[in-house]
Structure 1
């Protein structure tokens, strides 16, 4: 008697085989598990569970004789007091919004009250307008608590004076566009160069080039530069649209444009090296997207592309500052909005240069012609 064929066993066998095939494909695990976990970790780290504080400076000429008032200011968790030895740097950071305000405490001679009166002078710029909407009410609350503590009659002993200087408006596009340029060149260069060189190697084109009298560096850079030129054209288009349609700031016009292009070209060269490494170490082309995402995803989320890295806790900001895209984005914003020259961004370019040296040392070690 013929045994009846079991459809259930067949279903189980097919399901098992398909499941094993999925598990063996690293991209499936990455996009279904690792990718969401990274997003949860990063966005869950916003603020680090602590209160957002504002960087403020206490003017050196302040009257600090009233210890109670001074401690009320310094112990408030919303204020993070910083000191500057260079007054010019302090002024520049105030204009750029890196510090929210400068506080000056002055004593007023008034014999009509039992206790001495004080004025807290708040100096800020329009770059800190959002922060001032929080800072002023906090100062008023501190003044109210101080008056209640030492003055049963509730006399007005502390007044708040605000002076806001008008500076060039920092628009949302001035933050977003540099990040989007970084986003664009990162993935376009990695995918374009990695797949181009992988396919040329698989088709033995690189091997035939290698046997020709052409210098090996000319072969590499000749193929790579075609991708870089394409990316530079894309950056030009983004800058033109940003400038003339969205109001993107180019502090010194054409000079700023040229400096942005030079910075972008240097970053593209570094990214091309990363792509050459990926194209050399993979066994199949399906692994290339996985490596690119492992390298690129942290850069996009932790490099100030869509939001400032200041939203992260301090230990995480240290991690952010290791990534090359962080320094590219910072340098782009310094050049475009603040009007700094490319050499003024030497610290950011220096980090990218370190990556450049390490990457091309690895290219020299791992690159394969066949």
Structure 2
């Protein structure tokens, strides 16, 4: 325990002089949250989803001439649209059907949350203005109740930036540090003082876990005081998901370090893993619009599961509890055990 504490203090002292680590762990994510949060909160276009197969292209082109609403295909057709609205995945959905006299009839489903009333009225107004020339065309507007108290791009970007930062800490702040120190001969030097790998790795591991917790605290605090996110969340579940997510990413970084023959090979592996994780993990946009096959693939990525769980915890709906994030806990736990097991078998001093 004494040796572990010594290595932990050395790692924290090392961070004190590592300006790059401070920049990418704290300053960069905070600036991105502030910038994207403000930018997206005031954007003018309103996204309205529709099923591409059920909506004639001529109607899509007719409705796309305006600059207020943006029609976006919803490729994930396996889920009920009303359920997507209730769970805050989307806010507006347009469907087109035929009436008895074979005229098109439009139905718009909106989220019933109070903060979406202005957007809902704007969507209805734009559609009615466009369709006004055809008296036979009907427009029905309905509100779907359910879900949490706040919705918006912040619901995607806040958990996404937290997850992305923890991923970077795991891959670059843990795995890259280890393989670089190994190839510099540090492992051989430490072996001369008869120290086992356990306290050395544990000290680095705990220092990165501390960084992960403080990153979450920083970004969530910014969201509370700047963007009025409610602080009334289940902090026990939040700590559980952050812990599992951080361990998954640290384990992944360690695993890549143990199987990489060189620093250059590790960098290539990190790029191969990190970019798809961020794109498919729902960091900057919701994965709701993904095609079914891609959506299913994204569900096995730990970053995706962590972001989904944090969305549910930070923006809770009625009855939010452990059961609501059960699948996310299972997937993250499997990643924790799997990456650490492979690392244990592959690591050499």
- Specify the TM-score bucket, using the shorter chain as the normaliser: 0.5 to 0.7
Which of 252, 255, 260 does residue 238 from structure 2 map onto? 260
Q: Deviations over 1:314-349 (max 9, x none)?
A: 221122112111111100000000253345301012
Q: Deviations over 1:180-202 (max 9, x none)?
A: 11111111221111232123323
Q: Partner of 2:339 in structure 1?
A: 359
How many residues matched?
265
Counterparts in 2 of 1:91 and 1:279: CA distance versus 1, 3 Å: closer
What SS does the aligned partner of 2:263 have? coil
CA contact (8 A) 1:270 1:356 kept: yes
Which of 202, 216, 232 does residue 221 from structure 1 map onto? 202
Task: Write out aligned runs for 1:307-326 (5 A).
Answer: 307-326=285-304
Q: Is 1:245 aligned with 2:226?
A: yes
CA contact (8 A) 1:310 1:317 kept: yes
Structural RMSD (CA): 4.2
Q: Partner of 1:171 in structure 2?
A: 152
CA contact (8 A) 2:110 2:120 kept: no
Q: CA deviation at 1:52?
A: 4.5
CA contact (8 A) 2:74 2:288 kept: no
Q: Is 1:53 aligned with 2:62?
A: no
Q: CA deviation at 1:249?
A: 3.7
Matched residues in 1 for 2:227 and 2:49: separation?
Answer: 30
Q: Deviations over 1:268-317 (max 9, x none)?
A: 11111111122223333233222111111001111111111122222211
Counterparts in 2 of 1:131 and 1:123: CA distance versus 1, 3 Å: closer
Q: Partner of 1:206 in structure 2?
A: 187
Q: Partner of 1:288 in structure 2?
A: 266
Q: Partner of 2:311 in structure 1?
A: 333
Matched residues in 1 for 2:307 and 2:108: separation?
Answer: 34
Q: Partner of 2:86 in structure 1?
A: 94
What SS does the aligned partner of 1:338 have? coil
Q: Partner of 2:42 in structure 1?
A: none
Counterparts in 2 of 1:169 and 1:81: CA distance versus 1, 3 Å: same
Matched residues in 2 for 1:236 and 1:250: separation?
Answer: 11
Matched residues in 2 for 1:361 and 1:227: separation?
Answer: 19
Q: Partner of 1:113 in structure 2?
A: none
Q: Partner of 2:324 in structure 1?
A: 344
Q: Partner of 1:269 in structure 2?
A: 247
Task: Write out aligned runs for 1:151-162 (5 A).
Answer: 160=140, 162=142
Q: Partner of 1:17 in structure 2?
A: none
Counterparts in 2 of 1:136 and 1:272: CA distance versus 1, 3 Å: same
Counterparts in 2 of 1:95 and 1:319: CA distance versus 1, 3 Å: closer
TM-score (normalised: structure 1): 0.58
Matched residues in 1 for 2:74 and 2:226: separation?
Answer: 38
Matched residues in 2 for 1:217 and 1:81: separation?
Answer: 47
TM-score (normalised: structure 2): 0.61
Relative to structure 2, which stretch is displaced further, 217-226 or 348-357? Answer: 217-226
Counterparts in 2 of 1:210 and 1:219: CA distance versus 1, 3 Å: same
CA contact (8 A) 2:85 2:144 kept: no
Task: Write out aligned runs for 1:135-146 (5 A).
Answer: none
Q: Deviations over 1:39-83 (max 9, x none)?
A: xxxxxxxxxxxx9536xxxxxxxxxxxxxxxxxxxxxx9997977
Matched residues in 1 for 2:214 and 2:287: separation?
Answer: 29
Q: CA deviation at 1:223?
A: 2.0
CA contact (8 A) 1:178 1:333 kept: yes
Comparing both chains, which one has the higher relative contact order based on Cα–Cα distances under 8 Å and sequence gaps of 6 or more? 2
Matched residues in 2 for 1:364 and 1:95: separation?
Answer: 39
Q: CA deviation at 1:139?
A: 11
Matched residues in 2 for 1:98 and 1:301: separation?
Answer: 19
Q: Partner of 1:299 in structure 2?
A: 277
Matched residues in 2 for 1:81 and 1:187: separation?
Answer: 33
